[in-house]
Structure formats: C-alpha cells, structure tokens
Amino acid sequence: MNITAELVDYLAGLSRLEVQEGDRQAMTAELERILAYMDVLERLDTQGVEPMSHVFPVKNVLREDEVIPSQAREELLAGSPAPDGEAFLVPKTVE
C-alpha cells in the first residue's frame, strides 16, 4: 500500500485532525510501514469466510418502550466547555 501525503491529508480531514507540515512526512512513512505489515493478512485464505462483527450469537437484545426520567440538564451541561444554562454553544454553523 502506497501512502501519499495527499492521502494522509484526506484522512486527517475526515477525522478532524491537523497534520502539521513538519510531521506529514514522518506520519506518511509510519502509516506506510504499519500498513505494509498489515498486509500479512493477504496470506490468510478467507475465501467464503463470513466477516464476524459480533463474536457471540446473541441477538435481539431489546428494551421495553418505557420512559425513564431524563437527566437533570445542569448535570448534562456541567462538563461543557461552553454552556449557556440551557444548551451547548458552538461557533455559528453555516448552511
């Protein structure tokens, strides 16, 4: 897998991270090295193997549709870096 600086920038954009100019090259090389190692998986024959997302055959775990009292708002807002008493504040979102 050939990792380019453009790909690193694309991934950083998707994950809302900045890769500083000085770090880009190192990060590119590092990811390339790690992914090159991941390629050992290519040697494993997985023809016809169903991808396993859940390890147990547990299914249909459901809740009843019964109201549980909501949490006190001041507790939910207590940890916010920018609350205004009733909501979480963010910079203007542009539509």
Partner 1 sequence: MVLRELTALELGGAIKRGQVSIVEAAQAALDAVAARDGALNAFITVTGERALERAQQLQAGVKDADSPLYGVPMALKDNLCTRGVKTSCASKILGDFAPPYDAGAVERLARAGAVSLGKLNMDEFAMGSTSETSFYGPARNPWDLDRAPGGSSGGAAAAVAAGLGWYAIGSDTGGSIRQPASFCGVTGIKPTYGTVSRYGLIAYASSLDQIGPLCRDAADCAAVLDVLMGRDPRDATSLPGLRDSWSDSGPRVDYGHLLDGLTGDIRGRRIGLPTDCFGDGLDGAVRAAVMQAAEVLKGRGAELVELSFPVLPYAVPAYYIIACAEASSNLSRFDGVKYGWRAEKYDGLADLYRKTRTQGFGPEVKRRILLGTFVLSSGYYDAYYKKALQAKAVIKAAFDGAFQRCDLLLTPVAPTTAPRLGESLSDPLKMYLSDIYTVSVNLAGLPALSMPCGFDGKGLPIGAQLIGPHFGEGAILNAAHAFQLETDWHKRTPKGGDPA
Partner 2 sequence: MTWETVIGLETHVELATKTKIFCGCTTQFGGAPNTHCCPVCTGMPGTLPVLNRRVLEFAVKAGLALNCSITRYGKFDRKNYFYPDLPKAYQISQLYLPIARDGAVPIHTDAGDKAIRIHELHMEEDAGKLVHDPWIDQTRADYNRCGVPLIEIVTEPDFRTADEVIAYLEQLKETLQYLGVSDCKMQEGSLRCDVNLSVRPLGSSELGTRTEMKNLSSFKAIARAIDYEARRQIERITEGKRVVQETRRWDENKDASYAMRSKEDAQDYRYFPEPDIPPIELSEAYLDGLRAGLPELAQAKRARYQADYGLPEYDCRMITSDKALAAFFEALVALGAPPKQGANWIMGEVLGALSARGLEPRDMKLTAPTLARLIALVSEGKLNRNTAVKVFEAVFDTDGDVDAYVKEHGLEQVNDDGLVREICAKVLAANPRSVADFRGGKDKAFGFLVGQVMRELKGKANPQAVNAILSQLLKG
Which residues of the chain form contacts with partner 2 (CB under 8 A)?
10, 13-14, 16, 53-54, 56, 58-68, 70-71, 73, 76-77, 82, 84, 86-95
User: Residue 28 in contact with residue 9, Cβ under 8 Å?
Assistant: no
Quote the CA–CA distance of 35 and 29 in Å, as a whole number. 10
Residue at token pair 């008493």: 85
Burial of 31 (0-12, 13-18, 19+ CB in 10 A): middle
Task: Name which of residues 8 to 27 contact partner 1 (CB under 8 A).
Answer: 8, 10-12, 14-18, 27
Does the protein bind partner 1 through residue 91 (CB under 8 A)? yes
Which spans of this chain sit near partner 1 (rule: CB under 8 A)?
7-8, 10-12, 14-18, 27, 30-31, 33-35, 37-42, 44, 46, 49-61, 63, 71-72, 75-76, 78-82, 88, 90-94
